[in-house]
A and B are shown apart, each in its own frame.
Chain A
């Protein structure tokens, strides 16, 4: 499902004398449907960078990333957008939404964008928000005013609204209490059972051990400086 080959990434800081900082070189791995892979490595080793490249958020300088048959390092923006709509989900640590949009709509949006019927989309959103224990009185409010933990759960609900065949998870259980953590782990296990290929970053070691089938140490991809 996800096939990374010989990936390379540099940052060129034009406004700091054109310094070139290589961050990833020669990264290759595959994730099959129904498999969950955890990216591990020290802070700053490039876990998030890899995730962002997989999502098309960062440009790669070399190699290829094929997701569902599309090489996103060479794809046109609208192909990546279609991939994100239909195939590739991403639960980041930060919620980024238009202010004023009600929580229920934020969660249902991925389904609405796919053209799903409104009642089905909102039913799914209500189900997820209930499972993630967001009080119903908050559903009609914008999540921009919520606490960090609530925002995180809204973000997770949104990320799991559509059953993406490929899913990227950036610390999905961070800052959650035990009950909610359990719910999220169930959601991940369900997605796996449904055949999703998952790449995750988990600082929560118990969670990692429970859902991840194997680990990839991104320090192996850190370029050796001459």
Chain B
């Protein structure tokens, strides 16, 4: 595979992406435009996250890729193989062993450390998009901290459903300044956005990169009388018995039987190994 540059992208492109990442780190929560490249996979498969990962990887890294918490789904397997081929980096499924974790829709259950980077794949980076279709206007709203509209959405939720019904991609305010879309992670994961690890967000189709540096304040938006509630299904994991992890509902037959299991496969497996 010597026909490819290290981690697929050419050095100039990686420098360009790193500059965007640095700017994002300097202005937490701010969406930095970048010249997103065509990648050998379709949009929606994590082209933004892949470009950010490519720009961060060094030969000594150990990469973990998860999709909805699982290491063994098509998307995770494909991206892991992609970097094994193009960067010859080591890979792992262990959260604790990885130096870079690329994720789609989850934050690992195991607390992350200062030595780790978490790269999110982001479909729509603009939290105001469904309220205000004009990009010109949403940028102005960010610039002027004009965020009343965001609460209007939460108001509508409560008015319609009696509670804030937004269950994923729950908007947050970063370091008291920018309102940010945390990518479609379940709101259960929102408290974990305040982390020791560097968190980077890449949106390939929308050409935006943003970042939450370690130990940044990340507050989920709410009302005083309807406070943010990072709820999850009220069950323990059917496999490992964990009561503190985010669960997937799995249908087990066509008679309506189902079970709730950890969405974080590594977390679940480690707990079962420890128990054994």
In-complex A–B contact (CB below 8 Å):
no
